[in-house]
């Protein structure tokens, strides 16, 4: 990818991290899934939600089961959310144990960076490390 375009994309993603991290813990999926939790909380039957998205009650029950297994499509989640007057929101954030932001994550996945890191480690063992590679934060 063009270096300048990648830098712009990384900066844009990194700018979102401060608002996404706090939402991350709140967004953990309920044990039986969001569809069932929200539908039950709203007092809606599976049949009613199914009717709103033009499917059978059994097909909707299959959606709830698929979500619980982690096998539901985003399109199906979107349709069910709309039927319950909700919005589907999803996002990605780097694992904190790997990188603090997308820029660091890009370096982790850069094969050249991996070679530099290995060289830095070898040099450190010989007490000749340059020290210019920033250490990743430990979890």
| pLDDT band per the 50, 70, 90 thresholds, residue 10 | very high
Number of domains in the chain: 2
Nearest to 63 by CA among 76, 74, 53: 76
What pLDDT is recorded for position 112? 76
Domain match, 70 and 55 both: yes
User: Is the pTM of the predicted complex or chain greater than 0.85?
Assistant: no
Write b or e for each residue in 50-68: b if 16 or more Cβ atoms lie within 10 A of its Cβ, otherwise e.
Answer: bebbebeeeebbebbebbb
Do 34 and 86 belong to one domain?
A: yes
63 & 103 share domain = no
The range of the structural domain enclosing residue 80 comes to 28-90
Angle 64-80-38 (CA atoms, 0-180°, nearest 5)?
A: 65
Distance CA 17, CA 13 (A): 7
Q: What is the pLDDT of residue 123?
A: 63
CATH of the domain at 79: 1.10.260.40
């Amino acid at each position: 990818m063009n270096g300048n375009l990648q830098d712009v994309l990384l900066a844009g993603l990194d700018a979102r991290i401060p608002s996404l991290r706090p939402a991350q813990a709140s967004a953990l999926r309920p044990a039986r899934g969001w569809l069932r939790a929200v539908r039950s909380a709203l007092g809606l039957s599976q049949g009613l939600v199914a009717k709103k998205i033009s499917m059978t009650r059994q097909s909707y029950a299959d959606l709830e089961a698929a979500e619980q297994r982690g096998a539901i499509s985003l399109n199906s989640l979107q349709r069910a959310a709309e039927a319950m007057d909700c919005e589907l929101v999803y996002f990605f954030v780097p694992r904190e144990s790997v990188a603090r932001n997308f820029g660091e994550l890009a370096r982790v996945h850069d094969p050249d960076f991996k070679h530099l890191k290995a060289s830095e480690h070898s040099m450190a063992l010989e007490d000749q490390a340059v020290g210019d590679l920033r250490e990743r934060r430990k979890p």
